[in-house]
Structure 1
Amino acid sequence: MQTLAIVGASLAGLSAARAARAQGFTGQLVIIGDEPHRPYDRPPLSKDFLLGTVTADDLFLEADADELGAEWVLGSAAASLDAASRTIRLKDGRTVQADGIVISTGASARKLPTLAGLSNVFTLRTLADAQSLAPELVPGSRMAVIGAGFIGARWPQLRLRGAWRSPWSTPSPYRSPHSWARRWAVWWPDSTRPMGWSSFPPPL
């Protein structure tokens, strides 16, 4: 195999590229990503980055920009794959042909169609998302957080450092059939109410 293309330039794609080199692959590595950035650490985006305790430069995962000897094709998402010719077509019209292809595109934030285009509605998944959101976290502001997974659950910690109030909305775990989730749903509102939070819908 002469050329290996990796679709996805986040942690999974970086790990695949490192594994290929570690196992002796010496051919051309092409790493494709829809963001303009090289791989970076996402978990700090919802806490440390918004708190201002780390910068964007602190998030990047490569110790040496040339450690992989890879060609980085960034800023345009993969749109289609022709398996017969092993050709990847990007949204901007560029194409990448390879002998082997690894698909490691990861997840994306769910967006609510009825809120599309509103200037005060944000998702939090990428570095660009966090950079857009950070200036809005000012004393006296009030926010609603939709989603109570690990990202949404970090907001009480941010609230301790800031001065905004954040009602917290989620369809889960209140609707979960699992007993542990229902117990957690009762504990969570009681533990966050002193921080200025309210949550809905009420526990069942």
Structure 2
Amino acid sequence: MTGTLIVGGGLAAVRTAEQLRRNGYADPITIVGAEDRPPYDRPPLSKQMLRGEVDDVALKPAAFYADNGITLRLGVAARTIDAAAHTVTLADDKVLGYHQLVIATGLVPNRIPTFPDLDDICVLRSLDDCVALRDRAATARQVVVVGAGFIGCEVSASLRSAGAAVVLVEPQATPLASVLGEQVGTLITRLHAAEGVDVRTGVGVVEVSGTQRVESVTLSDGSVIPADLVVVGIGSRPASDWLADSDITVADGIVCDAVGRTSAVDVWALGDVASWDGVRVEHWSNVAEQARTLVSAMLGLDAMAPAGVAYFWSDQYDVKIQCLGHPRVGDTVHLAMDDGRRFLAYYERDGALAAVVGAGIPEQIRTARSKIAAGAPITEVLQPV
């Protein structure tokens, strides 16, 4: 087979195919996806779709694939790769050849193996996960969300907004402590508490009890929470297990150079599953830039490593939390504005502005981008007292 094979049915796959056609690539393109539906957008799953506000999250209409000569092979996962033979074997034993292979398989949600095997213990990664969780939450009396990272916080906000009683459990001192630090994490706690979420921090889950259905959750401090639905949001890992016996180097994700090239000839990777130059970024906004860079390198065009300032966001209740840069736990945090709900925090590292996090104030976030990129002194953004 000539042409490009893209393994993974999400945003990274679509953006790669799109960039190939935009750059005049005329050979066949095939996207292989493990799910039995065309590629869709994942961020709405924990927000608008979970709240029942939208049902269609497809990234592209069906005509896009037909018009651009892109073949979709859905409902079948890739099982193994033979990089020397330039072939991928699928779960249905079908063998596909390729000239160039792009791996964009994303993430797999972590689970807690000690939990019982009950339908009322859910994770949220796929559209099917979202539909199942939404249906169960509609009749749940109390939901326990385990893990207060972005997914846990967004799920808690969405379910609480839909009227559910929610208990959010986090072993760290605050929600998002490992990402944004405890000072800003305290403001996130305040936001959820104001909406009626019971936030339990500094404790873990010891046991989930129930026979046919979830009945209660026991925490490490000995407290027992009545519950009939548990959502596990304790992070994800790269979906790279199928490469275990291949020649492709995998560490924390697929190891790539600065333009997405892996250790195997004619094999590339991008998105959540890929570590470019030792950095793996799990943010939606990163994918389009990586796709442009990867496709340029693949086609022999000028290809520069993605530059600029990292950006991500999280919608919780009516507040959009936005981040520019890469906050670190050891940064000095300057809280520049706080009105009890909205806030603005600057992160200082070695005397320079390293990142900014804001809630409900998009304009102030946008103006900080150039200063972060330039490594501006923190004094440029701090207002004199």
Fold similarity call, TM over 0.5: yes
Corresponding position of 1:194: 194
Q: Distance in 1 between matches of 2:54 and 2:185?
A: 31
State whether residues 81 and 88 of structure 2, in contact with CA within 8 Å, keep that contact through their aligned partners in structure 1: yes
Comparing 81-90 with 182-191, which one deviates more in the overlay?
Answer: 182-191
| Pair 1:103–1:133, CA change in 2 (3 A) | same
Unaligned runs of 5+ in 1: none
Point out the more displaced range, 151-160 or 174-183.
Answer: 174-183
**Cα distance in 1 between the residues matched to 2:120 and 2:178:** 34
| Partner amino acid, structure 1, of 2:60 | E
Cross-structure match for 1:48: 48
Task: Assess if the C-alpha contact under 8 Å between 1:141 and 1:163 holds in 2.
Answer: no
Q: Which residue of 1 aligns with 2:14?
A: 14
Does 130-139 or 174-183 show the bigger shift?
Answer: 174-183
- Equivalent residue number for residue 62 of structure 1: 60
Verify the 8 A CA contact 1:8 1:105 in the aligned structure 2.
yes
Alignment TM-score, normalising by the size of structure 1: 0.87
Highest RCO, 1 vs 2 (Cα 8 Å, sep ≥ 6): 1
Measured at CA, do residues 131 and 159 of structure 1 come closer, stay the same or move farther in structure 2, by a change above 3 Å? closer
* Residues 8 and 106 in structure 1, CA contact (< 8 A), matched pair in contact too: yes
What are the Cα deviations for residues 72-103 of structure 1, in whole angstroms up to 9, with x where unaligned? 11112111110011110112222111111011
Aligned to 1:148: 148
Alignment-mate amino acid for residue 60 of structure 1:
A
User: Structure 1 or 2: larger helix share?
Assistant: 1
Conserved 8 A contact 1:3-1:99 = yes
Distance verdict in 2 for CA 1:116–1:104, change over 3 Å = farther
What residue is the counterpart of 2:249 in the other structure?
A: none
Conserved 8 A contact 1:33-1:77: yes
How far did 1:139 drift?
5.7
Pairing of 1:1-204 with structure 2 (within 5 A): 2-55=2-55, 58-63=56-61, 64-65=63-64, 66-115=66-115, 117-138=117-138, 141-172=141-172, 174=174, 180-202=180-202
Question: Per-residue deviation at 1:46?
Answer: 0.8
Which structure has the larger Rg over C-alpha atoms?
A: 2
Contact 1:9 1:105 in 2 (8 A): yes
Maintained 8 Å contact 1:140/1:163? no
**Count of residues in Structure 1 that have an aligned counterpart in Structure 2:** 201
Cα shift readout 1:95-125 (whole Å, capped 9, x = no counterpart): 1111110111111211111226211111101
Whether contact under 8 Å (1:6, 1:32) holds in the other structure is yes
Higher strand share: 2
Distance 2:173 2:100 in 1: 41
Displacement of 1:200? 2.4
Q: TM-score, normalised by structure 2?
A: 0.48
Q: Is the contact between residue 32 and residue 77 of structure 1 (CA under 8 Å) also seen in structure 2? A: yes
Deviates more, 1:167-176 or 1:90-99: 167-176
Distance 1:116 1:125, change over 3 A: farther
- Distance 1:79-1:116 versus aligned 2 partners, 3 A rule: farther
Do 2:172 and 2:201's aligned partners in 1 also have CA atoms closer than 8 Å?
A: no
Deviates more, 1:152-161 or 1:28-37: 152-161
Instruction: Mark the CA change 1:41 to 1:178 in structure 2 (over 3 Å): closer, same or farther.
Output: closer
Unpaired stretches in structure 2, ≥5 consecutive residues? 204-385
Q: Distance in 2 between matches of 1:170 and 1:89?
A: 40
Distance (Å, rounded) in 2 between the aligned partners of 1:86 and 1:15: 23
